[in-house]
Amino acid sequence: MNVIETHNLTRRFGRTEAVHALELAVPTGTVCALLGQNGAGKTTTIKMLMNLLVPTAGEARVLGVDSRRLGPRQFEQVGYVSENQQLPRWMTVRQLLDYCRPFYPTWDRALERQLLSQMALPEDRRLRDLSRGMLMKAALLASLSYHPRLLVLDEPFSGLDPLVREELVKGIIEVSNTGDWTVLVSSHDIEEVERMTDHIVLIDSGRMQLNEPTEALQARFRRVEVDLEPESGMPSQPGWLEVERSGRRLSLVDSAYDLAASPGRYGQLFPGAPVAFHPMTLREIFITLARTSRQNAKGAAA
């Protein structure tokens, strides 16, 4: 079952289309990363999912309910942390927890204490006096303590120093391992979320570029290097990206790599030529896709 599903989800701001016909499915129990450059439409998508924005067209279903009808019963099971959210900064950490607790029947005091201790949050300090990292920790704490079925994190690590980022990631990984929780985390930097995601959604200019499990994604992407004869031609194949030739060296990214079939296929394309296949990190894949998308857009505009 999918915790989040969107169909043709679209949002326009005047003439600008921030999100275009998004088809998204986030299965239960996954940690899904919503990736994209700044301005790609990640936050707009999440705001539509959280009923903070009304879709211009299409629909989104969250926990089986139309996002426009999300109400208290659904939000009892949703945790939402965003860098843009206006927390009640006049409250202390303790007051924030005391204020939030009664709204959630599943609030777990033991988990609250455990997280409070893990995150080393000063209970009596006002939120407005906390550093940005501490503030995000407090928001996370107030969104994890009731075991939400769905945790939505919108750029939670933006601008945080590496140590705090590490602590937060660790906290989320630990929590997501303790139950059947689904996490949707948006980021423009894949390194932040690489270790914890098992599903990747990439959007660019409001359009979805890919949507698949992390393992499958990493399995089908390879950086390929071929040493060619000087006068040999350069074939073209579907799924090849960033094809470059420098002297005898042909370099490309194969987005349709198949462990069983691809070596043989390359052997046929480049008989006798040495071919090297290099696994790619998610970051490298993300950059490749982003660059390709930008080149395609330029080409289309031209």
Q: Which residues bind another protein (CB under 8 A)?
A: 47, 50-54, 71-73, 75-76, 78, 80, 82, 84-88, 90, 95, 99-100, 102-104
Nearest Cα neighbor of 262 from 297, 224, 299, 288 is: 224
Q: Which is nearer to another protein, 121 or 151 (CB)?
A: 151
Count other C-beta atoms under 10 Å from residue 126's C-beta: 15
Q: How far is the CB of 82 from another protein (least distance, A)?
A: 8
**C-alpha distances in angstroms, 119 versus 31, 113, 126, 140, 264?**
21, 10, 16, 10, 51
Q: Which is nearer to another protein, 54 or 261 (CB)?
A: 54
Q: Which is nearer to another protein, 92 or 176 (CB)?
A: 92
Asked if residue 55 lies in contact with residue 193, where contact means CB atoms within 8 angstroms, the answer is: no
Q: Which is nearer to another protein, 30 or 82 (CB)?
A: 82
Q: How far is the CB of 231 from another protein (least distance, A)?
A: 60
Long-range contacts of residues 273-277, Cβ cutoff 8 Å, at least 24 apart: 273/226, 273/227, 273/228, 273/229, 273/232, 274/226, 274/227, 275/224, 275/225, 275/226, 276/224, 276/225, 276/226, 277/222, 277/223, 277/224
Q: How far is the CB of 271 from another protein (least distance, A)?
A: 58
CA distance 249 to 30: 40
DSSP 198-214: SEEEEEETTEEEEEEEH
Token look-up 């979320």 returns 193
Q: Which two tokens stand for residue 140?
A: 């996370």
Q: How far is the CB of 103 from another protein (least distance, A)?
A: 5
Nearest Cα neighbor of 4 from 175, 109, 152, 217 is: 152
Q: Which is nearer to another protein, 46 or 250 (CB)?
A: 46
Q: How far is the CB of 96 from another protein (least distance, A)?
A: 9
CA distance 213 to 216: 5
Q: How far is the CB of 195 from another protein (least distance, A)?
A: 26
Q: Which is nearer to another protein, 40 or 78 (CB)?
A: 78
Q: Which is nearer to another protein, 47 or 199 (CB)?
A: 47
Q: How far is the CB of 44 from another protein (least distance, A)?
A: 9
